[in-house]
Amino acid sequence: MSAISDDPKDLTQGSVYKHMMRIGIPAALGMVFNTLYNLTDNWFAGKVSDVALSGLSIASIVFALFLALGMGLQSGTSAMVATDLGRKNKKQVIDWINCSHGITWFLSAVILLLGWLFAGDLLGFLSGDEQIVAVAWDYTSVILFGNVFFNLTSCFAGALIAHGNTTSYRNVLVVGFFVNWLLNPLFIFVLDFGVAGLAWSTLLIKMGSSLYLWKVLMNEVGVWSKPAFNLKHWKQLLTQIMPASMNMMTIIIGGFITIYFISQFGDDPVAGYSVGIRLEQLLLMPALGLNASVMALVGQSYGAGNIARVKEIYAKSLKIALLISILFIPTMIFLSPLMMTQFTDNPEIIAVGVYYLRADAFAFYGYMMLFCSNALLQAIKQPLFPLVIGVLRQMILPIMAFYVLIEVMNFGLYAIFWSIVAIVLGSSVVALLYTRYRLKALKVKKSVALIG
């Protein structure tokens, strides 16, 4: 076994809180700029026309469904790489990265094929307006061919996160946001590409991002990553990647389900909920940073066989989650009217968004707990439970609850919001109990191994 030389960023040693801050803050900041990037595209599409904005909206939904197939690359790669970093096995680390690189190209080809076959029909399903569908296809067709750059970025970012490096990924997201402001008007207004110009801008930015992260990763491990095929390693990687990808897909499908039931109360409630959930996603960005830090810290410590440190990381992540919740819950309750008025002056839209934010504030810590539990389970190679809880939380339980409350009992719109709160809190408690059970099992397994 080849050893990796001592590294000041060795996550198996040192202060857990210090590592979490160093890893989590850049990750959270990067995701803020990623969200702002998407809002920038919406802003420019609105400058073109209402049809362009509507086309971009449905195109984004359809592409997200296909891209979900590769969204597990980041967490799956991170889980496998971090474990062998903890074991100081440099050769295996490089093997995992190369095999993940190979899977990336395979999944990208699958996404392109599925998109080319079914994206047009899905766009037509979401809108009966031929103009909107045509504009949406202009965007989608470009993005589909460049989806590999999204996936390469995820693959390389996952490997870097396993090393405790979230700064590089933050850098590409921040720079990408500002470059987007330059390229969007160039492609849309100067070159007259229309909405397709947004896609070309994103494609070039993602290409640059993947090349930059590829170079950073080379500096980190000492060799250039190249696609590799190893059936055994591919199987192990896919058992981590695919559950995480499917979990992301449940989130997207769950959004469809919620909007379907809300739409029965009119367009304004849908708009209010949509704005409210975007604001909530911004407030939950620290959770994504915490997720990245738990993945990296637990992965390396688990690989090193330090189960006590794994347990310590989980306990301290829940404490940080509580602190973040204490800071942001009052924001959701007291500042929600001010935040909503930044997006619309329609009183009904504002009222729905404010009510959603204030109700879901009671579930905020539940979301944080879910992020911590899912990250730990992924890092210790237990990715199926987050998928199961995701299917229940995003799809099965909402369909049952919404149908009973709305269709059978004729409760109003706000019953949907409170059922979401109940489902999130219940799911977070189940996830907490299951994660503690898995940690106890790990501790027992380690003790038996030591006795043996």
215 lies in the same domain as 292: no
**Strand, coil or helix: what is 344?**
coil
Closest CA to 336 of 365, 319, 358, 364: 358
Distances (CA, A) of 217 to 80, 223, 300: 15, 8, 17
- Cβ neighbours around 165 below 10 Å, total: 22
Q: Are 399 and 409 in contact (CB under 8 A)?
A: no
Q: Does 175 map to a domain?
A: yes
Contact 57, 41 (CB under 8 A): no
Please check whether residues 361 and 405 belong to one and the same domain. Answer: yes
> Can you say how many angstroms the Cα of residue 191 is from the centroid of all Cα atoms in its chain?
33
Cα–Cα distance for residue pair 55/77, rounded to 1 Å:
33
Q: Which residues contact 386 (CB under 8 A, 6 or more apart)?
A: 243, 244, 247, 373, 374, 377, 378, 431
Which one of 177, 206, 229 terminates a domain? 229
Do residue 185 and residue 281 come from a single domain?
A: no
Write down the pLDDT at residue 3. 44
Do residues 182 and 291 share a domain? no
Phi, psi at residue 354, to the nearest 5°?
A: -65, -45
Residues 153, 238: one domain? no
pLDDT of residue 253: 87
Q: Identify whether residues 360 and 310 lie together within a single domain.
A: yes
Structural domain contains residue 322: yes
In a domain, 143, yes or no: yes
In a domain, 418, yes or no: yes
Single pTM value for the model: 0.86
Domain count, the chain: 2
pLDDT on residue 38: 78
| Phi, psi torsion values for 128, nearest 5 degrees | -90, 0
| 407 and 315 share one domain | yes
**CA-closest candidate to residue 247, choices 373, 115, 383, 382:** 383
Structural domain range at position 43 = 19-229
Residues 303 and 217 placed together within one structural domain of the fold: no
> 45-51: which pairs have CB atoms within 8 A and are 24 or more residues apart?
45/195, 45/198, 47/188, 48/188, 48/194, 48/195, 51/129, 51/131, 51/132, 51/135
Tell me if 45 is assigned to some domain.
Answer: yes
Tokens representing residue 209 in the block: 């991002």
Q: In this structure, is residue 214 part of a structural domain? A: yes
**CA distance to 71, 236, 338, 422, per residue, from 230 (Å):** 21, 10, 54, 44
What is the C-alpha separation between 180 and 175, in angstroms, rounded? 8
Q: What is the pLDDT along the chain (452 residues), one digit of tens a residue?
A: 444 444 556 788 889 999 999 998 998 888 888 888 877 777 787 777 777 777 777 787 788 877 887 788 888 899 899 999 888 889 999 999 999 999 999 999 999 999 888 888 888 877 777 888 888 888 888 989 889 999 999 999 999 999 989 899 999 999 999 999 999 889 988 888 888 888 899 999 999 999 999 999 999 999 999 999 999 999 999 999 889 888 888 888 888 888 889 888 887 888 788 888 888 888 888 888 899 999 999 999 999 889 999 999 999 999 999 999 999 999 999 999 998 887 778 888 889 999 999 999 999 999 999 999 999 999 999 989 999 999 999 999 999 999 999 999 999 999 999 999 999 999 999 999 999 999 998 865 554 444 43
Of 279, 374, 286, 375, which is closest to residue 326 (Cα–Cα)? Answer: 286
Phi and psi dihedrals of 223, rounded to 5?
A: -140, 155
259 and 196 in a common domain: no
Amino acid identity of residue 22, one-letter, is R
The answer to the question of residue 3 being in a domain is no
Of 229, 262, 284, the residue that ends a domain is 229
Tell me, yes or no, whether 246 and 133 share the same domain.
no
Per-residue pLDDT at 445: 54
CB 206 within 8 A of CB 67: no
Query: From CA 244, how far away is CA 74, in angstroms rounded?
Result: 9
Domain end position, chosen among 214, 229, 244: 229
Is 103 a member of any domain? yes
pLDDT of residue 446: 53
Q: Are residues 71 and 152 in the same domain?
A: yes
Based on the fold, state whether residues 191 and 300 are members of the same structural domain. no
What residue type is assigned to position 52 of the chain? A
